[in-house]
Amino acid sequence: DVKVTQSSRYLVKRTGEKVFLECVQDMDHENMFWYRQDPGLGLRLIYFSYDVKMKEKGDIPEGYSVSREKKERFSLILESASTNQTSMYLCASSLGGTGDGVEAFFGQGTRLTVV
């Protein structure tokens, strides 16, 4: 079974802190994604990566950066946390290419509260 693991289930951070959200997948997937989920807004893509050291901006990249130094790990960084970044963060991974197995698999989510 595909396993996507996010480092924390719940986090509370202070405004201005630098925050790292870690995500690891164990299925050798090429693609990894960070989404943010807010009530009434659904899932919005922050960043994605289709290969090591490669990254692409999603719909709402402002205030975030990412790092992918190894294929299995994709980190989301909040450079200076703000209260409007309080949200549920979801990491996902998928195979590259087409055909069977292109669906994304998700981690359990990290609920971040910035105070």
Partner 1 sequence: AQKVTQAQTEISVVEKEDVTLDCVYETRDTTYYLFWYKQPPSGELVFLIRRNSFDEQNEISGRYSWNFQKSTSSFNFTITASQVVDSAVYFCALRDPSGNTPLVFGKGTRLSVIA
- The binding site for partner 1 (CB under 8 A) comprises 30-31, 33, 35, 40-43, 45, 48, 50-51, 58, 88, 90, 92, 94-98, 102-109, 111
CA distance 15 to 12: 10
Identify residue 68 by its one-letter amino acid code: R
Among the listed residues 62, 69, 87, 75, the one whose alpha carbon sits nearest the alpha carbon of residue 34: 75
Q: Which is nearer to partner 1, 62 or 103 (CB)?
A: 103
State which residue, 63 or 109, has the beta carbon closest to partner 1.
Answer: 109
Q: Which two tokens stand for residue 18?
A: 């630098």
What is the DSSP code string of 47-72?
EEESSTT--EE-S--TTEEEEEEETT
CB of 14 to partner 1, least distance (A): 24
Q: In angstroms, what is the minimal distance from the CB of 93 to partner 1?
A: 11
User: Smaller CB distance to partner 1: residue 17 or 28?
Assistant: 28
DSSP alpha helices (H): ranges in the chain?
A: none
With respect to partner 1, which residue has the nearer C-beta, 5 or 80?
5
Shortest Å distance, C-beta 39 to partner 1: 10
Task: Decide if 91 contacts 6 (C-beta within 8 A).
Answer: yes
CB of 115 to partner 1, least distance (A): 21
